[in-house]
Structure formats: structure tokens, C-alpha cells
Chains A and B, each alone.
With several copies, the nearest count.
Chain A
């Protein structure tokens, strides 16, 4: 039995397709969410590429696991944070393929991360 709620941060730092990190992190986030743990997703570094709009994974014969991001609300994922500095460095806008993403300064991002009991990074 799951006997207590933990606050979990899943920290994404990898671009979506070359490795399975993004998909593996997503699977973890959904399972923690579905067990009603207090789960938040953090995107930093190349992880922010997972949020970019208008990607076409079909062009490289890859399944669009990013579509599942739309289900975060259903899985009770509490927060989705993205690091503003990581976006800036990559010349990316805050126009994401999902809603309810909170863009945080580096300092705010760090403080939110520090508020979690368990942090898993991919």
C-alpha cells in the first residue's frame, strides 16, 4: 500500500527523441500522478525541447509521446515548470504545445525544486 503522499519532482534535462529519457520520465510522472502522489514536472537545459510546439516526430518515424503531455491534468500532475534561462539560451519562445506551463526564473526554478522530497532526473 502507498501509505503517504510524497512531493516528487521529475526533472527533464534531455531533448525528446535521441534517447528514451523523455519518455521514461513521462511514464514515471504519470504513474506517480495516478497514485495520487504530489507530482510536478520540471524542464531545464535541453529538456525544454520537449515543450516546443509543432514538432513532427512522424518525419523521423518516431511515436509522438509528447501528445501524452495533454493528459497531465487527467493524471493529476500538479505543476509544470520550465526554466526561462534555458529557453532564452536556445532562442525558444514560451509558446508550448500544452497549457498551464509556468515559466520560472533560474532562482524561482531552484526554489521550487528544493521544495520537493524526491527528485528524479532524466
Chain B
């Protein structure tokens, strides 16, 4: 079985991200094993749980969630790129407690090492 890893660097409100989603779904339906998507640079914004795109626009976040659920597709977001863009996995409110995350559940916070791992395992790595 052919394996594929994808690096996404474009934000949810760009049509380039729609292309990435389309490409990944076509790959899966063609029988390619997509071993993971790594979100880097502005790509991490796809994981924001407070994202609100107008109802009549393409809902990239819902598409990512669907791909994650239907096909068990791992969605990794780069922790450093996330922090630079306001995405964090622990928020200290006034009480100093770790409360909630602003990252959507379909996504996993990962280090850059995860991309190395995906790259070492995949037959092809595509940047979209």
C-alpha cells in the first residue's frame, strides 16, 4: 500500500486549503494510506476551536474533522507555530488552573519531530 504524508501551510480561509483537503480525500479514496497531515506556519490556524467562518462559506474546519473521523486521519499541528498564532493547550485563567484548550479535538499538538517521523515513513511527502 502506498503511503503519503502532507504538510499544510495555508490558513482555513484560503482556497488553497480547500485544494489540500480535496487532494487528501482523493488520495484516501484511491486507496493511498495517508499516514498524517502536519500543519505548519499559518496552517495551524485550521485547528482553532473558536474559528467561525460565515455559514455560506466553505467550512474547512468541518472538513478536517470529517476526514479525521471517517478515515482516522491523524492531524498534527506544530506546537511552535501554534504558539506564535495564539493556539495553546493550557490556558491559565485567574485561578491559575489549567482549564481548556482553544485547539479543536480533531487535532493533536505535536513537535517538529513528528514531521520527521511522518517523512521517514511515507513514500511521498507533499507540501500543500
A: which residues have CB within 8 A of B? 1-6, 8, 17-21, 24, 27-28, 31-32, 35, 37, 60-63, 118, 120-121
Task: Place the interface of chain B in its size category.
Answer: 20 to 34
Nearest opposing residue in chain B for A65, CB measure: B57
Among B14-22, B67-75, B92-100, the one that faces the other chain is B14-22
Query: Do B56 and A2 touch (CB < 8 A)?
Result: no
Query: Which positions in B face A, CB cutoff 8 Å?
Result: 7, 13-16, 18-19, 22, 40-41, 54, 56-58, 80-81, 84, 112-113, 115-117, 119-121, 125, 127
When chains A and B are docked, how far (Å) is the Cα of A60 from the Cα of B20? 11
Whether B56 lies near A5 (C-beta < 8 A) is no
Closest chain-B Cβ to A81's Cβ sits at a distance in Å of 19
Q: Which residues of chain A come closer than 8 Å to B57, judged between CB atoms?
A: 62-63
With A and B bound together, what is the CA distance between A40 and B91 in angstroms?
A: 38
Bound: A37/B113 CA distance, A: 11
Residues of B within 8 A of A6 (CB): 119-120
Q: A86–B66 Cα gap in the complex (Å)?
A: 41
CA gap between A19 and B12 in the complex, in Å: 10
Given contacts A63-B57, A120-B7, A120-B127, contact A17 B15 (CB under 8 A): yes
B18→A5 contact, CB < 8 A: no
B19 near A60 with CB under 8 A, answer: yes
Interface contact A35-B13, CB-CB below 8 Å:
no
* Contact present for B121 and A3 (CB under 8 Å): yes
- Overall SS of chain B's interface: helix
- A53, chain B: closest CB distance, angstroms: 19
User: Which one of A21, A32, A35, A62 lies within 8 Å of B18 (CB-CB)?
Assistant: A62
Are A118 and B125 touching (Cβ within 8 A)? yes
Residue numbers in A under 8 Å from B115 (CB-CB)? 28, 31
Are B13 and A118 closer than 8 Å at their CB atoms?
A: no
Q: Add 12 more A-B contacts to A18-B14, A20-B13, A28-B112 (CB < 8 A).
A: A1-B117, A3-B121, A4-B121, A5-B120, A20-B41, A20-B84, A27-B112, A28-B115, A31-B116, A37-B116, A60-B18, A63-B57
List, sorted by A's number, 13 A–B pairs whose CB atoms are closer than 8 Å: A4-B120, A18-B14, A18-B15, A20-B41, A27-B112, A28-B115, A37-B116, A37-B119, A37-B120, A62-B15, A63-B56, A63-B58, A120-B125
Contact B7 A24 (CB under 8 A): no
